[in-house]
Amino acid sequence: MLLAIDQGTTGSTAVLLTEQLDVVASANQEFPQIFPHPGWVEHNPQAIWASVEGAVTAALTKARVPASAIRAIGITNQRETTVVWDRASGQPIANAIVWQCRRTADFCRSLREAGHSDDVRARTGLVLDPYFSGTKLRWLLDNVEGARARAARGELAFGTMDTYLLWRLTGGAVHATDVSNASRTMLMNLASAEWDSVMIERLGVEASMLPEIRGNAEVFGTTKGVGFLPDGIPIAGMAGDQQSALFGQACFAPGQAKCTFGTGAFLLMNTGAEAIASQAGLLTTAAWRVGGEMTYALEGSAFIAGAVVQWLRDEMRFFGSAAEIEALAASVEDSGGVVLVPAFTGLGAPHWNAEARGVIWGITRGTGRAHIARAALEGIAHQNRDILAAMEADLGRRLTLLRVDGGAAANDLLMQFQSDLLDVEISRPVMLETTALGAALLAGLGVGVFEDLDAVRSVWREQRRFTPAMPADERARRIDLWRAGVARV
């Protein structure tokens, strides 16, 4: 079997698949979200490790198979979330700073005001935003007592969650990352796929803390001293969650694109061997390096997607489970003119407004829970339309098909509205958890289960296609309402 570990923002999922990619068992374990101040988000790395152990153990129990049956492990992860730990003890020096966290907004603003934006984009493909790992690492060095001195002595290690899990799984033997995760730190040179000395100095971090950058489908190391897994299982695939989903959707040709509906919404388009510099507010990122060949992508991210449904469930108490939002939203014909802009932690691409906050606009005496629920789903789709419009502007051509995945992609109402709003066909695969699937595919490539990308492509299967049906004038009206709402954040 292949084991995919999908370490996400709100929980960790373990998926056991046969070498023919049939799912044998899966399990998820959530962990607490920590909000020390408005706009700040943290995770306890030990709680994340415990969630991985719990998920893997539960999946093996469900499957009723021994862990020794695992041929290889693939890791995929929330990308920019930053953790620093002591090399000797393995203990984190503080909570991990989550990709959603905005605490470094002032530092990013100072870099923009100093005129570094264009050079940062040229080197890394990224914009100067708190989203990325480099400024989070700097914050930890400056704000955890003694951290900078310890880092200078070589005592501390930095990583995104892939690196941290790899370290733990190998008993501290391997400190490495892959090109997709490294490209999200604002510390990797996109052209060379190596750490950039100028960015290291500019962000004020220690080069000795950084992991080795590797490809995505190779043996990184083997399990050792884990406890819940036997020694000697190769960790053979690794990629950031969105690149892993792009791979799991078999988007191997330039121009193919996917959107993952998770905590946030992430739209990536394969641009092949060319790293296209966006002129429309998108990111240029490493997709993967397989067989020594680099593949790049354009990316647009909405920080809040499924998280707005969680907010309606947990804070507003609109319903008891996230799945109930579809029926509630479908109980009204439309949002009744209500616009919900879920900018809880700022607006991502193409707006890049770190100070933006959420807005519910257009409320009248007749507005009910169902209208707000529908506006929340429509807000997710509108953010994606903004991203796709920017992507099409960069490429100079229209997209004709978008592949979708992630938990919220199961929502038929949302998928149909997304198709209507984009005026593009939506293709939903049989396996919605393509993030985990991508990790399994990369691991399979890494140990020779799959010979090449053609062998991987042959296993992708479509479950349903959504076709746009909204009249053009109605689409334009909805977009105008959304823009009016965004103007109020």
Q: What confidence tens digit (pLDDT) does each residue in 385-407 have?
A: 999 888 888 888 788 899 999 88
Q: Please report where in the chains the tokens 């209208």 appear, as a residue.
A: 371
- Does some domain include residue 79? yes
Q: What is the pLDDT of residues 12-26, one digit of tens each?
A: 999 999 988 889 999
Q: Provide the pLDDT for residue 52.
A: 97
Q: What is the mean pLDDT of residues 381-388?
A: 94
Identity at 120, one-letter amino acid code: V
Report yes or no: 390 and 234 within 8 Å, Cβ to Cβ: no
- 459 pLDDT band, cuts 50/70/90, is confident
What are the tens digits of pLDDT across the range 274-302? Answer: 898 888 888 899 999 998 999 999 998 88
Domain that holds residue 100: 2-242
Mean pLDDT computed over every residue of the chain: 94
What is the predicted pLDDT for the residue at 31? Answer: 95
**CB atoms inside a 10 Å sphere around CB 364:** 9
The angle, 0 to 180 degrees and rounded to 10, between the axes of the packed helices 45-63 and 161-169 is 60
Q: Round to whole Å and give the CA distance between 98 and 39.
A: 11
Percentage of the chain exceeding pLDDT 70: 100
pLDDT band at residue 169 under the 50/70/90 scheme: very high
**Torsion 271-418-469-474 (CA) sign:** negative
Strand partners, 425: 401
Pair of tokens at residue 293: 């060949």
Q: What is the CATH number of the domain that holds 144?
A: 3.30.420.40
Quick: pLDDT tens for 305-338. 989 999 999 999 999 999 999 999 999 999 999 9
Q: Report if residue 295 sits inside a domain.
A: no
175, 221 Cβ separation under 8 angstroms: no
Instruction: Tally the C-alpha atoms within 13 A of residue 195's C-alpha that lie toward its C-beta.
Output: 17
Residue listed under structure tokens 């509205």: 417
Separation of alpha carbons 413 and 94, rounded Å: 41
Q: Is there a domain that residue 73 lies in?
A: yes
Query: CA-to-CA distance for 14 and 2, rounded, in angstroms?
Result: 10
**pLDDT tens per residue across span 225-241:** 999 999 999 999 999 99
C-alpha to C-alpha distance for 17 and 26, rounded to whole angstroms: 9
Q: Cα–Cα distance between 241 and 407 in angstroms, integer?
A: 14
Report the first-to-last Cα separation within the chain, whole angstroms: 48
Residues in the chain: 489
Give yes or no for residue 110 having a pLDDT over 90. Answer: yes
Quote the CA–CA distance of 37 and 305 in Å, as a whole number.
Answer: 21
Say yes or no to pLDDT of 456 above 90: no
Q: Is residue 437 part of a domain?
A: no
Q: What is the pTM of this model?
A: 0.87
Residue 457 to residue 190: CA distance in whole angstroms? 26
The pLDDT, as a whole number, for residue 278 is 86
**Separation between Cα atoms, residue 238 and residue 438, nearest integer Å:** 9
Rounded distance, CA 424 to CA 126, Å? Answer: 27
* AA identity, residue 165: L
Q: How far apart are CA 103 and CA 130, in angstroms?
A: 7
Calculate Rg over the CA atoms of the chain: 21
Query: Of 443 and 20, which is predicted with more confidence?
Result: 443
- pLDDT for 314: 94
CB-side neighbour CA atoms (13 Å) of 466? 26
Q: What distance in Å separates the CA atoms of residue 179 and residue 239, rounded to the nearest whole number?
A: 8
Question: Does residue 350 have a cis peptide bond before it, meaning omega lies within 30 degrees of 0?
Answer: yes
Is 144 within a domain?
Answer: yes
341-358 as b/e, with b when 16 or more CB fall inside 10 Å? Answer: bbbbbbbbbbbbebebeb
Domain membership of residue 133 (yes or no) is yes
Task: Supply the angle between the helices 306-314 and 369-395 in degrees, to the nearest 10.
Answer: 160
For 36, the token pair is 């020390």
Q: Is residue 460 part of a domain?
A: no
Domain count, the chain: 1
The reply to whether 222 falls in a domain is yes
